[in-house]
Structure 1
Amino acid sequence: MSIVADPTPAPADEARTRLLARIRREFDVTEEMLAFGGGAPIRFTRVADPNAVLDEVCRLETLREQGIAPRRELHVPYWAAVWESGVAVSEHLTRRAASAPIADLRALDLGCGMGMAGAAMAAIGARVTLGDIDTAALLFARLNTLPWAERCRVARCDWRTDDLPGPFDLIVGADVLYEVSQWPYVEAFARRRLASGGLLVLGEPGRPTAKGFADWLREKGWSLTREQARCGEMTVNIYEARPSA
């Protein structure tokens, strides 16, 4: 990923202006222009201070315990940070498209956070659904995919219990393997919603808890390849997997 200057930013359209104003009522934000894999720059709006979001969730949780209900369901705000896996997966998909185009494929960014991977896929032509359990994340995901709004949608999704209309030719998860307890849910969701011949792409930043994931997934009947990508000081594992026939 590279960050490039945007000397002549396009004027925000009405939809962007409204949505950005809504987000700014709750979050401090910053904007960057990101380029993945030699592709065209993407305007990406993100939380300026993820720790401030965590502090606010903790404050609201304290109020909830005192009987004051929050406006939305509370979750640990993993979505509010830009994770290395999201950057590495976005680079991988953009470079991969040179030999394996994803234009017009039905793609899902599962656990999308602020929508980095989903925006990268939309920029190279995919029809993208962005799903996350946290509705605050989906505000950012919608904003970051507005340039491709005609082929993008956002949807609240808890991969443990929910399904999304599909099937999908490509399911992408950037850093969704952080807890071993989540693996069966992610695997089962992908198996249900992948189209015949579809591909699962997962980014995982080398956490000790995920060391056995590849063997575990193969035991579940998936064929699997792995490559590694450097992202700053971190090496990210990128898995491509298909369910065996």
Structure 2
Amino acid sequence: MSGYETRKIHLRVGSREWKIRSLKDTQQYYDPQGEAKRAGICSASWSLFGQLWPASKALARAVKKIDISGRRFIELGCGLGLPSLVLRARGAHVVASDKHPLSEEFLDYNAALNQVPEVPFVDLDWGLSPAPDQRGQYDVILGSDILYEPDHAEMLAEFVNQLAAPKAKVLITCPGRGYRNRFARYLQDYGFALTEQNIPFIEGEPAPHRGRLLSFRRGF
């Protein structure tokens, strides 16, 4: 690819082998049209979307077994989109979202690489209200390691509430970041109850596990 270097990662989710194109490392930067800069993405964080993080793998494993019947899914901050691809391969109605200008391109490439039907993509900025056709539409809202900034807890909780159907589930994998507790309190104000589970993020990781699977439910 012009302007940056990539690699292919091979991994297993359940019984299936996946190939995911990612950026070669976190030193990549390519923004010739200034799209990332206009989206508020600085050069230091530009490459983060293009890494396959442990939290994304953990979320992919979690959605491998989730009930998909009649449910509408959306992944927030999808990056390379592994959880969305796993759901799409199962036949789920899933939308992937991010604000990085290259996320959709990598998502489409990885879908084709794994012979998975294309995953619909929307550009979503958590600091803005979602479009009317997105509000209240989703039964399951997903995210992996998205609670990494102090202002994300309140902003993301409000955004999730706008996207969520009256009866909804929110599933987030978190590597033990402190902001998850604030996020949980804000979501509880919107009627969501939390179940938290310690899970390994890396294969063979010994207990106690720092990783968390945060499961919020409303209307059940």
Cα deviation for residue 103 of structure 1 reads: 4.8
Q: What are the superposed Cα offsets for residues 166-202 of structure 1, whole Å, 9 maximum, x if unpaired?
A: 4112110111111131112211121111123221111
In structure 2, C-alpha distance between the alignment counterparts of 1:26 and 1:121, rounded to whole Å:
31
Q: TM-score, normalised by structure 1?
A: 0.73
Identical positions, percent: 21
Tell me the residue number matched to 1:72. 35
5 Å-filtered alignment, 1:36-115, equals 36=13, 38-50=14-26, 52-53=27-28, 56=29, 70-74=33-37, 75=41, 76-77=45-46, 78-94=48-64, 96-97=65-66, 101-103=67-69, 105-115=71-81
In structure 2, C-alpha distance between the alignment counterparts of 1:25 and 1:104, rounded to whole Å:
41
Tell me the residue number matched to 2:180. 210
Tell me the residue number matched to 1:177. 147
Q: Let me know the Cα RMSD of the aligned residues.
A: 2.4
Structure whose CA Rg is larger:
1
Asked if structure 2 preserves the Cα contact closer than 8 Å seen for 1:44 and 1:144, the reply is yes
In structure 1, C-alpha distance between the alignment counterparts of 2:185 and 2:92, rounded to whole Å:
30
In structure 1, C-alpha distance between the alignment counterparts of 2:57 and 2:146, rounded to whole Å:
14
Partner letter of residue 73 of structure 1? A
**What secondary structure is seen at the aligned counterpart in 2 of 1:199?**
strand
Asked if structure 2 preserves the Cα contact closer than 8 Å seen for 1:180 and 1:210, the reply is no
Tell me the residue number matched to 1:26. 3
Tell me the residue number matched to 2:85. 119
Cα deviation for residue 215 of structure 1 reads: 4.1
Tell me the residue number matched to 2:117. 149
Q: What are the superposed Cα offsets for residues 44-66 of structure 1, whole Å, 9 maximum, x if unpaired?
A: 1111112x22xx36xx6xxxxxx
Q: What are the superposed Cα offsets for residues 28-84 of structure 1, whole Å, 9 maximum, x if unpaired?
A: 111133221x2322221111112x22xx36xx6xxxxxxxx7442321223122222
Q: 1:195 to 1:39 in 2, by over 3 A?
A: farther
Q: 1:160 to 1:35 in 2, by over 3 A?
A: same
Task: Tell me whether 1:159 sits opposite 2:126 in the alignment.
Answer: yes
Q: 1:212 to 1:72 in 2, by over 3 A?
A: closer
Q: When you count helix as a share of all residues, which structure comes out higher?
A: 1
Cα deviation for residue 243 of structure 1 reads: 3.3
In structure 2, C-alpha distance between the alignment counterparts of 1:211 and 1:191, rounded to whole Å:
17
Asked if structure 2 preserves the Cα contact closer than 8 Å seen for 1:200 and 1:242, the reply is yes
Tell me the residue number matched to 1:4. none
Q: TM-score, normalised by structure 2?
A: 0.81
Tell me the residue number matched to 1:133. 99
Tell me the residue number matched to 2:169. 199
